[in-house]
Each structure stands twice: as structure tokens, then as C-alpha cells.
Chain A
Amino acid sequence: MALHFELVTPAKQVRSEDVHMVVVPGAEGDFGVLEGHAPFMSVIRDGAVQVYKTEGSAPEEIEVRGGFAEVGDNGLTVLAEHATDAAGE
């Protein structure tokens, strides 16, 4: 019961991991993606993507700008022009 989450920027692949849930700031409102979400594409407004590693854990926030989200069979893919990792790398 894991959602495969990928965050990709032109510079590098920031994240590629299995997580519990991701809350994405969509252009028409935030939406959460769990495993088995219906296929979906949305433009993202600039803001923080919240990644919940496990159920009930504190979310990790990643700031993205110029993003686009795609939910397909293979999980959630977020394409962003810029992403700043709160944790820093």
C-alpha cells in the first residue's frame, strides 16, 4: 500500500520513492494522492508539496515552482521547474 512518488526538475530527479500520501497544491485547490488514485493531470500552483512517508507521520514539505502533476498507473509524478528541498541536500 505504497504510492510511488517522483519529483523531477530539469536539473535532477529530486525524489523517487514509495510514500503513503502526497498532498499537491493543484491550480484549483489542494488534492491528496493515495495509492490507487484515478488517472489525473493538473497544473500546480507555486507552493509546498507535502509528502507523508507513512500514515500519520509529520509531512515533509518541498517547495515547488512551475509544476505539473500527473497521476497514472505508476504513481504520482510531479514535474517542477524549481524545487527547493526543505531538508536541504
Chain B
Amino acid sequence: MASLKELKDRIGSVKSTQKITKAKQMVAAAKLRRAQAAAEAARPYADRLGDVMASIAGKVSGDSAPKLLAGTGSDQRHLLVVVNTDKGLCGGLNANIVKAAKLKAKDLLAAGKQVEFYLVGKKGRAPIKRDYADKITAGFDTSTVKLPGFEEAEAIAAELLEMFEGGKFDVAHLVYPTFKSALAQDPTVDQLIPVPAPETAADSDAVVEYEPGEEEILEELLPRYVKTQVFGGLLEREASEHGASMTAMDNATRNAGDLIQSLNIEYNRRRQAAITTELIEIIAGAEAL
């Protein structure tokens, strides 16, 4: 049976754990607000780019379309770009992303395709390595920067485009968490390369002049679109990480509180029992005289 001192130490240790989880929760809440603002700020750019892409892509005919839009003509080799977080303490977020990625990989493998992984973020490495150790081609480390920005997205996209140009894969999918709320982050799988043909916008009849030409512009815009997609994925990841972390830490703080309470009751009961025993001993001793 644990002594009084042991119980007291235990309470102390749970209390300090609670302090940590509480601090982490508050940090996550503050960071979440910032990440959400960043995601919000990135939206106009992505929207505009999407609009422009849609209006041009409709005008460039099938044969002359660049490879990034039309694809390589085969869909044998798939690349899964999995965006995970760099830090833990965010509940089941990473587990869910990895699960979605593995499910997609299983589907593709069952359909007779080849699958390879490109990993962004630290936390996806170990669980994916367990099942597909020989299929991880490359990765990108985002843990060196505090807040992944457009530079990181550019670097990732550049590497992916280089691999695509080099004929390393035919189709790339981006697996990332979509931030719904602090409680829900859904893992999402989106096709990244070839760029999915945007729905043709209701084209206005206005004659638009292009400089240099439609194809050249499209050629210029497609890599930019890929970058923006990756950037969006990173931003979503950031918001999801902090949201999930906030929820997980809130739960942890509450659990620690419950544990402290029950330990305190146990401690007080034990103390009282000890006092009672002591009193009985004294009284018994006094009576014996």
C-alpha cells in the first residue's frame, strides 16, 4: 500500500503534468488563431489563380495542353505526398492522416498501380516506414522553420515538379488534413499532378488579350498552381495541428484534474485514518495507566 508520502508525491507529479498540458493548450489556442488568419489570408490568391486557370485552360485545346495539365498519358506510377505535422501532442491527427494515406496506397496497389511516398513533416515517417519501408522516395523537413511559409511550399513544389519532369511518376496526390474546427480535422486526398482540369468558368464574351500567348501563360501558371496547392496544404496542416493539439490538451488537462481530485480524496482519507489510529493509541495508553 502506498504511504502518505508516496501519495503526496504522486499528486505533485500529476499537478506538474497538468501545468504542462494547460500551457500547451493555451499556446495551441494562440497559435491556432494565427494559423487560421494565415489560411484566411491565402484564400484570395488561391481563388484568383483558380479563376484565371479555369478561364485559360478552357481555351487551350487538348493536344497542345502542357504535360502538367494533360498528364503523361499513363497512370501507372503514383506518388503520395503525405503532409504530417512535425510535433506530437495533437491527438489522433497524424494517425488519421497516415491511415488515409495507407488506405489510398492500398487501393492503388490493389488496382495494380505502383505507389511511392513523399513525406512532409516528421510524424508520418515512422508509421509509414513500418508498412512501406521500400516505397518512400524522398521527403521534406519542415521542422527547421517555425512557421512553414511560401518558401517551403515553393521548395516542395519545385522538387515534385522536377521529379515529374524527370518521369519519376505519372500522378501525384496530396494527402493533408483539412481544418474543419478545433474538434474535427478531416484527412483529405487531392490530386496534385496532373492538375485536375478546372471546371470551365462561365466564360464572359469579352475578348481577352493574352501576352505572350494563352499556352505560354498556362505553362507559367500551372507550376504556380501546384505551389499554391502545396502551400494551402501546409497552412491547413498548421491550423489542424494546433486545433487538434488544443482539443487533446484540453482533455488531458481535464483528466489530470479528475485524477488529482481522486488522489486528494484518497490522501485525506488516509491522513485521517492515521490520525485516528494515533489518537486511539494515545487513549489506550492513557487508560492503561
| A23 in the interface (beta carbon within 8 A) | no
**A15 to B217 alpha-carbon distance, docked (Å):** 23
Q: A27-B212, A41-B217 are in contact. Are A73 and B150 (CB under 8 A)?
A: no
Distance between B225 CB and nearest chain A CB, rounded to angstroms = 11
Within 8 A of B (CB), among A1-25: 8-13
Q: Is the CB of A41 within 8 A of B41?
A: no
Whether B211 pairs with A28 at a CB distance below 8 angstroms is yes
By a CB distance below 8 angstroms, the chain B residues around A9 are 45, 150
* B208 sits at the interface (CB 8 A): yes
Give Cα distance in the complex from A68 to B220, angstroms.
9
Contact call A8/B206, Cβ cutoff below 8 A = no
Known contacts: A11-B149, A66-B224, A68-B221. The answer to whether A43 contacts B211 by CB under 8 A is yes
Inside 8 A of B227's CB, which chain A residues have their CB? 10, 81
CA distance A72 to B201 in the complex (A): 14
Point out residues on A near B: beta carbons under 8 Å. Answer: 8-13, 26-28, 38-43, 66, 68, 70, 72-73, 77, 79, 81-82
What are 19 sample pairs from A and B whose C-beta atoms fall under 8 A apart? A8-B44, A10-B45, A10-B227, A10-B231, A11-B38, A12-B41, A12-B42, A13-B41, A13-B44, A13-B45, A38-B209, A39-B207, A40-B211, A41-B52, A41-B211, A42-B210, A42-B217, A68-B52, A68-B221
Contacts from B to A (Cβ < 8 Å) = 38, 41-42, 44-46, 48-49, 52, 56, 149-150, 153-154, 204, 206-212, 216-217, 220-221, 224, 227-228, 231
Task: Please give me the 9 A-B residue pairs with the lowest Cβ-Cβ distance, nearest first.
Answer: A42-B211, A39-B208, A12-B41, A39-B206, A8-B45, A10-B45, A10-B150, A40-B209, A8-B44
